[in-house]
């Protein structure tokens, strides 16, 4: 009998998909934040310009997060 590295419990495919989704989307969000910060730094935008970049480019991310929360709260998905 094979020993399982998770302490005897097996992870279902659905659990693996859920964890992978959260890690993947979280990683992409962090990468987007890094890209916007790097863009502001390379363009020498200053504090106000960096703030505007994060607001303007972060609105798409904010919309995605709000949509996800609303879908879960309304039970549509």
Mean pLDDT score of the chain, rounded to an integer? 85
pLDDT score for 7 = 60
On whether the CB atoms of residues 18 and 11 are closer than 8 A, the answer is no
Q: Is residue 28 a contact partner of residue 35, using CB atoms and an 8 Å limit?
A: no
pLDDT, residue 37, reads 93
Q: What angle do CA 49, 52, 58 make, to 5 degrees?
A: 135
> Residue 4 has what pLDDT?
57
Distances from the Cα of 60 to the Cαs of 13, 24, 37, 49, in angstroms? 30, 17, 16, 18
- Residue-wise pLDDT tens digits, 24-57: 988 988 998 999 999 999 999 999 999 999 998 8
């Amino acid at each position: 009998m094979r020993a399982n590295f998770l302490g005897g419990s097996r992870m279902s495919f659905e659990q693996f998909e859920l964890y992978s989704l959260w890690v993947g989307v979280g990683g992409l969000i962090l990468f987007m934040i890094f890209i916007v910060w790097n863009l502001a730094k390379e363009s020498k935008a200053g504090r106000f310009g960096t703030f505007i970049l994060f607001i303007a480019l972060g609105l798409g991310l904010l919309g995605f997060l709000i949509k996800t929360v609303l879908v879960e709260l309304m039970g549509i998905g």
